[in-house]
Amino acid sequence: MKLYRFLSEEDTSTFCHKVTEALNKGWELYGSPTQTFDHAAGLMRCGQAVVKEVSGTYTPDTKLGAQ
């Protein structure tokens, strides 16, 4: 099955570390990164979709972050 996650974080090195960790766990980038201004918090936010092919059957209880 193919899993999908959308990683998001403030525009700091924490976001880069989050994406790097996912890549090192076998996730692959899916599409282009995104960036937007969060008016309520007054800061920039980044996002990146990632996908991963794993064995098994998807259920809503699947822990995507644990994969």
pLDDT given for residue 61 in this prediction: 87
Q: What predicted TM-score, i.e. pTM, was given to this entire model?
A: 0.86
Domain membership of residue 15 (yes or no) is: yes
Q: Is the separation of the CB atoms in 29 and 48 below 8 Å?
A: yes
Q: What is the spatial distance between Cα 9 and Cα 43, in angstroms, rounded to a whole number? A: 10
Output Rg (C-alpha) for the chain, integer angstroms: 13
Number of separate domains in the chain: 1
pLDDT given for residue 65 in this prediction: 78
- Domain of residue 40: give its range: 2-55
Domain membership of residue 67 (yes or no) is: no
Per residue in 32-41, pLDDT (tens digit) is 999 999 999 9
